[in-house]
Chains A and B, each alone.
Chain A
Amino acid sequence: MSTLEQLEARLARVCGSVEVARLRTDVEPLPMVAPRSVEETCELVRLAAVDKLRVVPIGRGSKLGWCSTPGHVDFALSTRNLQRIVSHVPDDGTITVEAGVGMDELSARCRAGGHFLTPDVPLAARRSIGGVVAAGESGADRLRFGPVRHHVLGTRTVLANGLATRSGGQLVKNVTGFDLHRLYCGSHGTLGVIVEVSLRLFPEPEHELRVTTRASELADALSLARRALALPARIVSLSIERTGDGFELAARLFGLRDVVEAEQAALLALWPRANTQSGAAARASSEAASARQRLALSAHPALRIACLPLRLDVVAPLVQRALADARVAGAFSLQPGIAELDVELAAGLSEASALAAFLRSLRATLARHGASLALRNAPRTALVELDPFGDPASGLDLMRSIQRCLDPEGVFATGRFHGGL
Chain B
Amino acid sequence: MRRELIDELLAVLGPAGVIHEPARLLAYECDGLALLRQRPAVVLLPRSTEECARAMRILHRERLPVVGRGAGTGLSGGATPVEGCALVGFARMRDVLEVNAAERYARVQAGVVNIDLTLAAEKHGLFYAPDPSSQAACTIGGNVGENSGGPHCFKHGATTRHILGLVIVRDDGSILDLSLPSADPLGYDLVGLFVGSEGMFGLATEITVRLVPVPQVTETLLAIFTDLDSACDAVSDAIAARLEPSALEILDRLTIQAVEASVFAAGYPKQADAVLLVEAEGSEVEVEATLAPLRAIAHKRGAIDIRRARSAAERKQLWAGRKGAFGAMGRIAPDLYVADVVVPRTKLRELVAAATRIANDKQVKLANVFHAGDGNLHPNISYDRRDADEVRRVLEASDEIVRCVVAAGGSLSGEHGIGLEKQEFMSLVFSDGDLRAMCDVRRAWDPDGRLNPGKLIPVHVCREMRGTERPR
Give the interface of A toward B (CB within 8 A).
89-94, 114-115, 136, 138, 146-147, 149-150, 159, 161, 163-167, 169-180, 182-183, 185-187, 191, 203-204, 232-234, 255-256, 258-259, 262-263, 306, 308-310, 338-340, 370, 372, 389-390, 393-396, 398-399, 401-402, 404-406, 408, 417-419, 421
Contact = CB atoms under 8 A, between A and B. Distances in A.
A171 B422 CA distance: 18
Contacts of A263: 283
Given A115-B242, A166-B431, A186-B189, A174 B414 contact: yes
B189 A183 contact: yes
Given A175-B146, A175-B415, A405-B443, A180 B437 contact: yes
Nearest to A304: B184
B342 A174 contact: yes
A370 B193 CA distance: 23
B62 interface: no
Contacts of B354: none
Nearest to B198: A178
18 contacts: A91-B240, A91-B346, A149-B189, A165-B434, A171-B414, A175-B158, A177-B418, A178-B193, A178-B441, A180-B193, A233-B283, A255-B286, A259-B282, A259-B286, A306-B183, A402-B441, A404-B444, A418-B187
State the 8 A-B residue pairs at the shortest beta-carbon distance, nearest first: A182-B192, A203-B242, A163-B433, A393-B186, A91-B240, A401-B444, A173-B374, A402-B444
Interface stretch (B174-182, B261-269, B299-307, B392-400): B174-182
B184 A159 contact: no
Contacts of A401: 444, 471
Contacts of B196: 175, 178-179
A234 B212 CA distance: 12
B239 A92 contact: yes
A335 B69 CA distance: 40
Contact of A167 (B103, B147, B188, B437): B437
A182 B242 contact: no
Interface of B: 102-103, 146-147, 149, 153, 157-158, 160-161, 176-178, 180-190, 192-193, 195-197, 200, 213, 215-216, 236, 239-240, 242-244, 282-283, 285-286, 288-290, 342-346, 371, 374-376, 409-418, 422, 426, 429-431, 433-435, 437-438, 440-445, 456, 469, 471-472
A263 B216 CA distance: 13
B453 to A, nearest CB: 15
Given A406-B437, A418-B187, A421-B188, A171 B285 contact: no
Given A175-B416, A182-B192, A308 B282 contact: no
A399 B188 contact: yes
Given A175-B196, A259-B289, A306-B183, A169 B411 contact: yes
Nearest to A339: B183
Given A146-B161, A173-B149, A394-B178, A417 B187 contact: yes
Contact of B285 (A90, A262, A370, A398): A262
Contacts of B422: 176
A195 to B, nearest CB: 13
A171 B411 contact: yes
A171 B441 contact: no
